[in-house]
Structure 1
Amino acid sequence: MRLATWNVNSIRARVARTVDFCVRESVDVLAMQEIKCKPEQFPYGPFEDAGYHVVAHGLNQWNGVAIASREPIEDVEYAFPDMPGFLKGHEGPGAPQEARALGATIGGVKVWSLYVPNGRGLDDPHYRYKLEWLSALTGYTRDALAKDPDLALALVGDFNIVPTDEDNGDPTLIEGVTTHVSVPEREAFAGLLDAGLTDTVRPLIPTGYTYWDYKQLRFPRNEGIRIDFILGSHALADAVTGAKIHRDERKGEIPSDHVPVVIDLDLTGPDDDDDRPMIFG
């Protein structure tokens, strides 16, 4: 299975480019973030013509997540347990949930397409919301893997966290001043790993950015950051045979400010037929 994640920054603006990438790179499952549309507005046709099933979760022109798959999409979930919501000016529990998480089982893998809250500013209520959201995600992960230690679980998407200084090439992101690089955010990311996940790409690609701002010539100057990840349980990480960050997708006509991150998985067991056709290129 070839599994990819991509913050497409408006699927309606970039559907042709997204589908072309999936076909050209033989992607089996694509998790998308920031689709910026409601499900009824999603451009299903081009994906279906290319042989993909699609589920989408969006509430308005902001946020939104989706999954496209060549294999059937089963057990769809639109939020993980205890996922908090957010509404500006709202205090306490009960805020409406945003379209930031979409889970499904595909080919035996539990895939979550995640768009972690940005945080906006260290003194902004959205920052507290971000940390609460990540705490709930960590709790879900720990509980799911305690229930089934052999679960092939993939948490993929835009985490809006730069885990290490080596992942930060943007001079405007400064610890203690801006989000994405603050100690609590980095501790929250580390907490996901402590809950039983592995950054499946980093062992194969130790360095490299996945996002470059459109402003200030960030891409030509390579002043990017690494914020898009494929985190996997041990069962998933052990099946990884390859990985790639598609930097060139930041080039060309109307690119997203993010690029796809891809892993190849060999999910065949020792008793599987060695003659079965491969499903990734």
Structure 2
Amino acid sequence: MTRTKTFKIATFNVNGIGARLPHLLAWLAKEKPDVVALQELKASDAAFPAAALEDAGYGAVWHGQRSWNGVALLARGLIPIESRRGLPGDPEDEQSRYIEAVAHGIVVAGIYLPNGNPQPGPKFDYKLKWMQRLSRRAKILVALPDPVALVGDFNVIPTDEDVYDPKAWRKDALIQPEVRDAYGRLLDQGWTDALRKVYGDRRIYTFWDYFRQHAERDRGLRIDHLLLNPALTKRLQGAGVDRWVRLQEKASDHAPAWVEVGLV
């Protein structure tokens, strides 16, 4: 009889890997994800804590940036095989927001999509252009016969069901019609939004700001997404958010989100 192994793929905006390393290590030890995409490292390549992660059982590839941005991919028990660093389409873009690798037989693209605030303005224009570039790359990835996960902090609130108070966020870049349309077109390529697939119409959040005890009151946003191509969607078994990480003292304003997939 063929036995199926379950793998957990996660995404976590750490909001500064130097300050949040204890939180990250505690989460890795407790939840044991197999593949992890990290965002907002806020650290140079030299400052990335590769040794501490290796001691925890995780190999890593990363693309750092001093004080800002930065993305990484971790894999339990091995070093991911990096296939791409930086989103193609703009050779002058120096922001560290995209990394792609193969780990445990899965192609994983980790992204930190631009916030876009304030809008309108150049930061919002950059966000929309970045999403266009992402769409072009995603169109290639979604069609691969191999399992592919496109995961990270998308800085997109897809629907009003993904925010505790839509009216309070109406002017924010994360909720603008152009942004939602771009995310919708991405899904139309054939990607499955795994959290929404598993939770249906139930509300689930991945981010809670630091104001007015929003984390404790569960007044959040769903902006961290895990998109699966058809080859991986058929193996989807579960998904969730480890909100307990957000409720720790001096935590990131995001919590890890994850999917479990069965691989033969």
Which TM-score applies when normalising by structure 1?
Answer: 0.86
Q: How big is the shift at 1:43?
A: 1.3
Q: Do the aligned partners of 2:87 and 2:97 also contact (CA within 8 Å) in 1?
A: no
* SS of equivalent residue, structure 1 residue 103: strand
Does 2:99 align with 1:68? no
Structure 2 distance, partners of 1:144, 1:248, is 32
More helix by share: 2
Does 2:102 align with 1:109? no
Structure 2 distance, partners of 1:2, 1:219, is 24
Residue of structure 1 aligned with 2:158, choices 152, 156, 163: 163
In structure 2, the residue matched to 1:180 is 174
* SS of equivalent residue, structure 1 residue 172: helix
Q: How big is the shift at 1:133?
A: 0.6
Deviations 1:113-139 (CA, angstroms, capped at 9, x unpaired): 110000012211111111111111111
Residue of structure 2 aligned with 1:153, choices 148, 154, 158: 148
Q: How big is the shift at 1:201?
A: 1.8
Once structures 1 and 2 are overlaid, which stretch shifts more, 231-240 or 199-208?
Answer: 199-208
In structure 2, the residue matched to 1:4 is 10
Q: How big is the shift at 1:239?
A: 1.2
Q: Do the aligned partners of 1:145 and 1:151 also contact (CA within 8 Å) in 2?
A: no
* SS of equivalent residue, structure 1 residue 140: helix
Q: Could you say which structure has the larger radius of gyration?
A: 1
Residue of structure 2 aligned with 1:198, choices 186, 192, 196: 192
Q: How big is the shift at 1:145?
A: 3.5
Q: How big is the shift at 1:29?
A: 1.0
Structure 2 distance, partners of 1:254, 1:196, is 38
Structure 2 distance, partners of 1:260, 1:75, is 22
- For structure 2, the residue ranges without an aligned partner over 5 or more in a row are 1-6
Residue of structure 1 aligned with 2:126, choices 111, 124, 129: 129
Q: CA RMSD in A?
A: 1.5
In structure 1, the residue matched to 2:208 is 212
In structure 2, the residue matched to 1:81 is 88
Q: How big is the shift at 1:267?
A: 1.5
Residue of structure 1 aligned with 2:58, choices 29, 52, 56: 52
Pairs aligned (count):
254
Structure 1 distance, partners of 2:79, 2:158, is 33
In structure 1, the residue matched to 2:4 is none
Structure 2 distance, partners of 1:130, 1:199, is 20
Equivalent residue letter for 2:228: G
Equivalent residue letter for 2:111: L
Residue of structure 2 aligned with 1:254, choices 233, 250, 256: 250
Structure 1 distance, partners of 2:256, 2:141, is 27
**Which stretches of structure 1, 4 residues or longer, exceed 3 Å deviation after superposition?**
none
* SS of equivalent residue, structure 2 residue 237: strand
Q: How big is the shift at 1:195?
A: 1.4
Q: Do the aligned partners of 2:192 and 2:230 also contact (CA within 8 Å) in 1?
A: yes
Q: Do the aligned partners of 1:78 and 1:102 also contact (CA within 8 Å) in 2?
A: yes
- For structure 1, the residue ranges without an aligned partner over 5 or more in a row are 85-93, 269-281
* SS of equivalent residue, structure 2 residue 94: coil
Q: Do the aligned partners of 1:16 and 1:46 also contact (CA within 8 Å) in 2?
A: no
Deviations 1:197-221 (CA, angstroms, capped at 9, x unpaired): 1101212223211101112332233
Equivalent residue letter for 2:82: D
More strand by share: 2
Equivalent residue letter for 1:98: Q
